[in-house]
Amino acid sequence: MKAEPIYRCWAEVDLNALRENLAWLRHRVGPEVGIMTVVKADAYGHGLKAIAALLMQSGTDVFGVANLNEARDIRAVGRGWPILMLGACLPEERPAAVKDDIMPTLSTLAEARAYSKLAVALDRTVKVHIKVDTGMGRLGVSAEVADRLVRAVMRLPGLVMQGLYTHYSAAEDDARFSARQRQRFASLVNRLRHAGILIPSIHANNSGALLHEPETLFNLVRPGLMVYGIVPPGKRRSTLPLSRYLRPALAFKCRVSLVKEVPRGTPLSYGGTFVTPRKMKVATLTAGYGDGYLRAGSNRAWVLVGGKRCRVLGRITMDQMLVDVSRVPRVRVGDEAVLIGSQGRESITTTELAEWGQTIAWEVLTSITYRVRRVYKGASAA
């Protein structure tokens, strides 16, 4: 029997959990609504190519990406799936987007004209989505004048008006502001319908809006964080028992590399920001901010060793960190330490780690670096 490889720091990705999360989301939105799975930032740190392959098998309808390299990684896995570039293409990127059949996001007539010129020159048809700014302030045309841009795009040669969308900026936190966004976008959609303009894909709901803005499902949704089994945290509370339906797909782990007894009064790690208040048993772990573990968790975060919560001591360094294992009598060098995930009856969530690091779950996941090996588990793992 082949021995299991030994990793110093790794992320386990449960493909079955991802498949089940997507199935639940599809059940929630119903059979008439398509799903655009957002896989930007290396599929939220889970590994883009492996996740794209799974999602193709599991029935995603469209992929959402942030740049052309992500789109090309998906094309390398399998051709034929629609891909929307959620950010604006740079002028130098537009020819490649047209040649690779990537749907661009448009915010201006100038962008539309540039794509039309390219489409004609390359003898291609470019399916485009227009982004509507209802309150996010990044990309998009104002909702009050967006119908003019839609009409102009429909007159340009080589372009097909495939989608119209907006993005909630505070669906998890601010019901009043979200209502204003909802009303502005819905009013635009109604004006276009009354004018006889039917656009194939209308979409507004990200993960947070899927929980809190059911009136704007339209016919396509864009889940990101929820596909990976994490509920977007915020002030607004869902009545759904989401822990029953969604399972986090990623666990972040490392090893114990050294265990030693440290006397009272000993400063630990850079700057001596932690001084032992008593004799302590301290373990060195093989993970640090070079692996994507947040340095802001210094003296604040907890990990699991031997099925117990162990406090992080002192500053987290590039490749290592120190934890208090005084309550773990049988800890040994080589033992598994869990940074995110479960061990025994205890668990540490991505959201908890985000709180300790004074950030958000999205950053925790996408900060996990390239040197952390992704290990895929489940029925679809190669």
Question: In a 3-state reduction of DSSP, which class is residue 139?
Answer: coil
DSSP-assigned beta bridge partners for residue 302: 311
Considering the candidates 99, 260, 270, 279, report the single residue annotated as catalytic. 270
Q: Tell how strand 336-343 and strand 250-262 pair up.
A: antiparallel
Q: What is the pLDDT of residues 13-23, one digit of tens each?
A: 999 999 999 99
Question: In a 3-state reduction of DSSP, which class is residue 305?
Answer: strand
In one-letter notation, the amino acid at residue 175 is A
- Name the pTM for this structure: 0.93
Considering the candidates 2, 40, 235, 245, report the single residue annotated as catalytic. 40
Question: What is the phi/psi pair of residue 188, to 5°?
Answer: -60, -50
Q: Are 59 and 20 in contact (CB under 8 A)?
A: no
Whether 40 is catalytic: yes
> Which of 301, 368, 367, 260 minimizes the C-alpha distance to 9?
368
Whether 281 is catalytic: no
Q: Which two tokens stand for residue 288?
A: 């640090």
Q: Describe the crossing of helices 68-77 and 48-58 by its angle, rounded to 10 degrees.
A: 60
Model pLDDT, residue 374: 97
Model pLDDT, residue 381: 59
Q: What is the DSSP letter of 170?
A: S
Question: What is the phi/psi pair of residue 71, to 5°?
Answer: -60, -40
Model pLDDT, residue 3: 62
Q: Are 382 and 58 in contact (CB under 8 A)?
A: no
Q: Which two tokens stand for residue 109?
A: 């007539």
In one-letter notation, the amino acid at residue 307 is G
Q: What is the pLDDT of residues 38-63, one digit of tens each?
A: 999 999 999 999 999 999 999 899 99
Residues with pLDDT less than 50, the chain: none
Model pLDDT, residue 382: 53
Q: What is the pLDDT of residues 74-84, one digit of tens each?
A: 999 998 899 99
**CA 130 – CA 133 distance, rounded (Å):** 10
Q: Describe the crossing of helices 109-122 and 146-155 by its angle, rounded to 10 degrees.
A: 20
Contacts of 22 by beta carbon, 8 Å cutoff, 6+ apart: 35, 37, 55, 58, 59, 60, 227
Model pLDDT, residue 237: 85
Name all domains of the chain by residue range, CATH numbers in brackets. Answer: 32-228 (3.20.20.10), 250-377 (2.40.37.10)
Contacts of 239 by beta carbon, 8 Å cutoff, 6+ apart: none
